[in-house]
A and B are shown apart, each in its own frame.
Chain A
Amino acid sequence: MVRSSLDQVALELSSIKKSFGGVHALQDVTFTINKGEVVGLLGDNGAGKSTLVKCISGVYAPDSGEIKVNGKAVVIRSPEDARAAGIETVFQDLAMIPEFNIVQNLFLNREIKHKNPILRWLGWLDTKAMTKRARKALNRLNTRIPSYNEQIHNLSGGQRQAIAIARAVNWGADIVIMDEPTAALGVEQSAQVNDLIKVISSQGVAVLLISHNMQHVVETCDRAVVLYQGSSVADVAVAEVTKEDLVGLITGAKKIAA
C-alpha cells in the first residue's frame, strides 16, 4: 500500500550515538520521517530500538548526534522537552494508571483547570470540560468507548492502546512514537490499532512504529528503517521489498546501501 506523504520532514535524526558503559547501544542512527508518514523501526532483540525511542522521547540523553523537528534542531533532555518539541510516545506499558478512569488518564499532568481564577490557581479540576474534550478526541479517532468513567484496568488491550494513542494525538503531537503497540493484542484488536495509525497519519502526524510483527509493518508502514547492532543499516520503501527482504536485513543476512 502506498500513501502519498507530505514532502515535509517532521523528524530528522543524524548520527545518534548512545553508550551504556562499554555497551554501544546506538552507534550511528540516521534517518528522517516526513509529515503524515508511518515509518517502521525494525531490528533484532538488542539492536537498539528501545534505546533510540528513549533518546527521542527524553528518557535518555544521546551522547552525540542531532535531532531536528520540523527543520529546527532541538535539545531533548527530559520527557517535557520532547513533548514541548511535539513528540509524544506511546510506551510499551502504555504508561497508564490502572485505578484511573479514561478521562483521568487522558489528561494526566495536563488537566484542564477550572475557569474561576482562584480555583484555577489552586489547581481545581474541570472534570466536565475534560470529559467533553475526551469524547471529542476519541471520536476523532473513531474509537468507541463504553463509558468514560470506566477504570483503565477494566478495558481490553485494544481499547487501552486506543486511549494511549488518543492521549498522544490529543496533545497536538506532530510526531508519535509507538513501541510495539500490538504486541499484546489479538488479531481483531491489532487491526483496530492499525486503522487508528492510518487515521492519525492521514491527519498529518508522523508516526514511528516499533514492531516485531512483519505483517503489521507491511500493512501499516510507508517505509522501514532497520537497526542492526546500533546502526541504521537500511531505509526502504515497504512497497518495494518483500517480508523476506526485511527479515534478511534484520538478521544481517542481507545488505543494502543505506
Chain B
Amino acid sequence: MNAQMLSLNQLKQIALHREAFIYYIFFFVLFFFAIVLHDTAFLTFSNFMNIVKQTAPLTIMAVGLTFALAVGHIDLSIGSVVALSALVGALLLQHTGIPLAVLGALLVGVTVGLINGLLIERLQVSSLLITLGTMGIITGIARQLTNLESVPIINQDFTFLFGSGKVLGMPILLLWTLVIGGCAYIILKKLAAGRHLLAVGGNPVAARAMGIKVTRIRLYALIASSTAAALAGLLYAGRLHGARYTLGEADLLTVIAAVAIGGTSLFGGRACIVGAILGTWLMGIINNGLILSGFSTNEQMIARGVILVIAVAIGVKEIRNG
C-alpha cells in the first residue's frame, strides 16, 4: 500500500491492533527492568543470549501450540511430551546414533498428537479434556520409564546440535528458534496449508462447506503441536546433558500465557508466530528480571499466572466486542 494513503485512521487501527499489543508490553517490561535493574547484569548482551537459550525449548513449544490453537484446539499434553521425548531420546542415545535417537524422540510427539487428534474426533470430546487425560498418562509413562532416574547424555555431537553448539558465532539454540519459527511463520502466512488451518479455526462449518478436510487438518495441527514439544524435549536434553522426568513439567502455563499474550486467539482462527516467540522471550525476561530483583520461584509462578489471566481477559473482551 502507498505510504501516503495511510490515513490517520488506518494508523490508529494498526497501532491498536491486537497483534501489536505484544510489542508494547514487551518493550514496556524491558524498559521497566532496565531501569529497576540498572546496576545489575540485566541489560547486557550475554544476559539476553542466556534468556534466548534458556527459553529455546519454550519458544518451540509455543510455536507448536500456536498450530493447535489456530484450529481451535488446546494441547495440555505438551509439557509431558517434553519429558517423555527427552527420556526416550537419551535412552536411545545409549544404544544407537543421533539420527535414530532423534527420530525415536520425535516419533513420541507424532504418536501423541495422532492419539490426541483421533480421540478428540472419534469421541467428539473437547481437546481440553482429552489432552488433560493424555497428559496424565504420558507423565506416568515418563516417570515409570526410568523409575524417576535421570538419564545422562555424553554424546558430544548431540549436546552440540541440541544445546551448546554455535554456528557462525550464533548459539545453535537461537538458530533452532529462528528456523522453526521461520518455517511456522511461512506455513501460517504464506502457504495454503496455513490458510486452511486458520479457516478451520475461524469457522469450521464454512471451511467444511468450502471442501476443506476439517478433521484431517485438526489432526495435523495436534501432531505439529506435540512434535514441536518432542523437539523441545531434545533441546532440553541437549542443553542439560541429560533427561529427567521433570523436564517440561512447569512449562505448560508459561507457554499458554506466552502464546496468548502474543496475540494468538485461545478460541481459534487467529495465530501469530512472531507474537508467540516474543511472548516466550517476554516470559523469560520477566523470570530473569524477577530473579535478579530477588523474587522467589513461587513469586515468579504468581507473575506467570497473572500474565495469563491478563492475556485471556483481553482475548475474551475482544470476543464480546465482536
Residue ranges of A at the interface with B (Cβ–Cβ < 8 Å) = 59, 78-80, 83, 89, 91, 93-100, 104, 108-109, 111, 113, 122-125, 153
Contacts and interface: CB of A to CB of B under 8 A. Distances in A.
Nearest to A109: B210
Contacts of A91: 206, 209
Interface stretch (B91-99, B141-149, B192-200, B229-237): B192-200
A79 B190 contact: no
Classify the secondary structure of A's interface with B: loop
B211 A153 contact: no
Nearest to A112: B192
A104 B192 contact: no
B212 interface: yes
Interface of B: 190-193, 195-196, 198-199, 202-203, 205-212, 269-270, 322
Given A98-B202, A98-B203, A153-B322, A123 B209 contact: no
A188 to B, nearest CB: 23
A117 B302 CA distance: 51
Contacts of B208: 79
Question: Which among B191, B202, B210, B212 has the highest number of chain A CB atoms within 10 Å?
Answer: B210
B195 A104 contact: yes
A104 to B, nearest CB: 7
Nearest to A59: B209
Nearest to B322: A153
A80 B211 contact: yes
26 contacts: A78-B211, A80-B211, A89-B209, A94-B206, A95-B209, A96-B203, A97-B203, A98-B203, A99-B198, A99-B202, A100-B198, A100-B199, A108-B195, A108-B199, A108-B206, A108-B207, A108-B210, A109-B196, A109-B199, A109-B207, A123-B191, A123-B192, A124-B190, A125-B191, A125-B195, A153-B322
Contact of B206 (A78, A80, A97, A111): A97
Question: Which among B190, B203, B207, B322 has the highest number of chain A CB atoms within 10 Å?
Answer: B203
A83 B270 CA distance: 28
Contacts of B191: 122-125
Given A83-B211, A108-B210, A109-B211, A99 B270 contact: yes
Nearest to B202: A97
Given A108-B199, A109-B212, A97 B192 contact: no
A164 to B, nearest CB: 10
Contacts of B199: 97, 100, 108-109
Given A108-B199, A123-B192, A93 B211 contact: no
A124 B196 CA distance: 13
A89 B206 CA distance: 12
B205 A95 contact: yes
A104 B270 CA distance: 14
B207 to A, nearest CB: 7
Nearest to B1: A149
A95 B195 contact: no
A104 B195 CA distance: 8
Contacts of B206: 91, 93-97, 108
Given A111-B192, A123-B192, A153-B322, A97 B209 contact: no
Contacts of A125: 190-192, 195
A94 B210 CA distance: 10
B320 to A, nearest CB: 14
Nearest to B268: A99
